[in-house]
């Protein structure tokens, strides 16, 4: 049975789907945090954390920060990051490729209170770790 792009052996229940989503969020982020905390990935070498808000509000500065922070091959936009043409190429990219970008809105979606409570409770560590504000706290 295919449900929302995922494959299941039988028709999932809403509770089963919710549990799957919440559990995946816990597993994936706990593994990521473990890799960062254990030094498997190193900030400034092969990791740059940026918020979605930072990227959408200041794309040029955020992409530049990513390129300037990461070690390794900084050859992007057909020029090296240290090349004099890099700022112009990055600005062109932001002005052409990101022009007209509109953030999705979900104002019309209202989570069930129980679902919202479970999400906020079980994913609190993610909100805390990455500095995101939780509703109702």
Residue 107 lies inside a defined structural domain of this protein: no
Looking at the fold, whether 80 and 116 belong to one and the same domain comes out as: no
CA angle, corner 23, sides to 20 and 29, nearest 5? 135
Mean pLDDT of 44-67: 86
Task: Read off the tokens for 71.
Answer: 């070690």
Mean pLDDT of 2-31: 83
Residue 104 lies inside a defined structural domain of this protein: no
Looking at the fold, whether 4 and 37 belong to one and the same domain comes out as: yes
Q: Secondary structure of the chain in the HEC alphabet?
A: CEECCEECCCCCCHHHHHHHHHHHHHHHHHHHHHHHHCCCCCECCCECCCCHHHHHHCHHHHHHHHHHHCCCCCEECCEECCCCCHHHHHHHHHHHHCCCCCCCCCCCCCCCHHHHHHHHHHCHHHHHHHCCCCCCC
**What is the reported pLDDT for 4?**
57
The band of 19, judged by pLDDT with boundaries at 50, 70 and 90, is very high
- Which of these, 2, 29, 28, 26, lies nearest to 119 by C-alpha position? 26
Write the pLDDT tens digit of every residue in 61-84: 998 888 878 755 555 666 666 677
Mean pLDDT of 99-105: 85
Integer Cα distance of 130 and 118 in angstroms: 19
Looking at the fold, whether 61 and 94 belong to one and the same domain comes out as: yes
Looking at the fold, whether 67 and 94 belong to one and the same domain comes out as: yes
CA angle, corner 134, sides to 129 and 136, nearest 5? 145
Domain that holds residue 132: 1-41+112-137
User: Rounded to an integer, what is the distance from CA 117 to the centroid of its chain?
Assistant: 22
Residue 93 lies inside a defined structural domain of this protein: yes
What is the tally of structural domains in the chain?
2
Residue 106 lies inside a defined structural domain of this protein: no
């Amino acid at each position: 049975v295919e449900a929302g792009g995922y494959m299941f052996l039988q028709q999932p229940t809403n509770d089963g789907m919710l549990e799957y989503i919440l559990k995946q969020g816990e597993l994936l982020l706990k593994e990521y945090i473990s890799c960062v905390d254990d030094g498997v990935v190193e900030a400034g070498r092969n990791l740059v954390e940026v918020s979605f808000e930072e990227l959408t509000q200041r794309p040029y500065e955020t992409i530049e920060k990513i390129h300037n922070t990461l070690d390794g091959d900084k050859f992007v936009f057909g020029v090296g990051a240290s090349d004099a043409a890099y700022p112009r190429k990055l600005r062109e990219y932001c002005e052409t490729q990101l022009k007209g970008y509109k953030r999705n809105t979900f104002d019309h979606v209202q989570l069930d209170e129980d679902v919202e409570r479970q999400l906020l409770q079980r994913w609190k560590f993610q909100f805390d770790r990455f500095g995101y504000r939780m509703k109702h706290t």
